[in-house]
Amino acid sequence: MLKIIGASSSGYYDHFTIEQVSKGGIFVVRPVENIPVDGVVLDRNSAVDESTLTGESIPVDKAAGSVVSAGTLNQSGYIRCQATRVAEDTALSQIIQMVSDAAAAMSLSSFSVVTNALRLNFFEMHDSKRDHKIKNKLKITIEKETKTMEKTLKIEGMMCGHCEMHTKKALEALEGVTKAEVSYKTGTAVVTLEKNISDDILKQAVVNQGYQVTDIQ
């Protein structure tokens, strides 16, 4: 169980709940416990798993002066820390809020967040052993639903599977064409486009293969 402690008027340490800890408060985290708020290590050493924030699976050594963050996992030793950001001000809370805001603005079918790509643009870790700062930027990858359109070409002159293949390759080689489904039996080519392409360009691609386009819908 996580212990939140602060100096009382009598000079002894009293225990508080996580909700009661405020900025500047002192807290102790034991091995295999989650760090509840953002803070800085005051004394003792440990290794902390920060993969929930940085995506890095290798634990980071922490010593006096090192920054720790809410939602990360203390692994190997006791650490005594001072809170710098609590509640909704923590780095983790701000990430959750940003993701929630993005989700609210987009439909579920077009919104996808890649968790292991999260990087904090406001989170700064300090490696006391190497004496340098590692800055991680928040990178939320949002996959937007791609709008596509289709055009159907009526083609004359295709006689076999090789004709289909040549026509398919010619159409799919055009910029903006994502897929072409060609059939010599029906004499059609259904072209899927990610952007509008003029009928003349589509027609010329087929004509260059030795076939005739009679109609485009």
Residue among 145, 143, 184 at smallest CA distance from 163: 184
pLDDT at res. 58: 92
Type and span of the H or E element at 61: strand 60-62
What SS3 class is residue 88? helix
- For residues 122 and 101, give the distance between their C-alpha atoms in angstroms, rounded to a whole number: 18
Percent of the chain with pLDDT over 70: 71
pTM: 0.43
Structure confidence at residue 14 as a pLDDT band (50, 70, 90): very low
Residues 136-157: what's their mean pLDDT?
68
pLDDT at res. 90: 87
Higher pLDDT, 17 or 185: 185
Strand order in the sheet with 33-34: 33-34, 73-74, 46-49, 60-62
Q: How many CB atoms lie within 10 A of CB 5?
A: 16
Six-digit token pair at 161? 């599977």
Residues 10-30: what's their mean pLDDT?
68
Residues 17-30: what's their mean pLDDT?
80
- For residues 117 and 139, give the distance between their C-alpha atoms in angstroms, rounded to a whole number: 6
CB within 8 Å of 120: residues ≥ 6 apart: 53, 54, 91, 95, 136, 137, 138
pLDDT tens digits along 25-67:
888 888 988 888 899 999 999 999 998 888 888 999 999 999 9
What region, left, alpha or beta, does residue 121 occupy, with left being phi > 0 and alpha being psi -120 to 50 degrees?
alpha
pLDDT at res. 15: 57
pLDDT tens digits along 79-107:
999 999 988 888 888 888 888 777 766 55
pLDDT at res. 48: 95
Six-digit token pair at 109? 């079918």
